[in-house]
Amino acid sequence: MAFVYVDDGDLVSAIEFASPGHGVSGDDQVVFAGVDLFVDEADTVITKLIANGVGLVQSEDGYNTTAPDVLLALRRDGEPIDDSTELPLFFDSALVARPGYYG
């Protein structure tokens, strides 16, 4: 699924992609910096993005990971759960926003 968010002036402020696949490759891919955001496990995605020079910030609860320099936000939700962290194994949404979206 894809969602487009517009501001009060009807300009696109963000685009969000959502995947119910939880690790299952589909016909479409959402790739950023050469990393498939929905097929690899979230911890692997984080490791690969950092290796590609993307600066990431994780929320205290571990569900949200953002790359503030490029306005990318990733969210974990749903099943399956990683027993060691008690967090969902996969990202299920990726949002790309224009500057000022989070401000």
Domain residue limits, the chain: 2-97
DSSP secondary structure of 72-84:
EEEEE-SS-B-TT
User: What's the mean per-residue pLDDT of the chain?
Assistant: 89
Q: Write out pLDDT tens, residues 49-87.
A: 999 999 999 999 999 999 988 889 999 988 899 898 899
pLDDT at 32: 92
pTM listed for this prediction: 0.86
3-state secondary structure of 100: coil
pLDDT at 103: 60
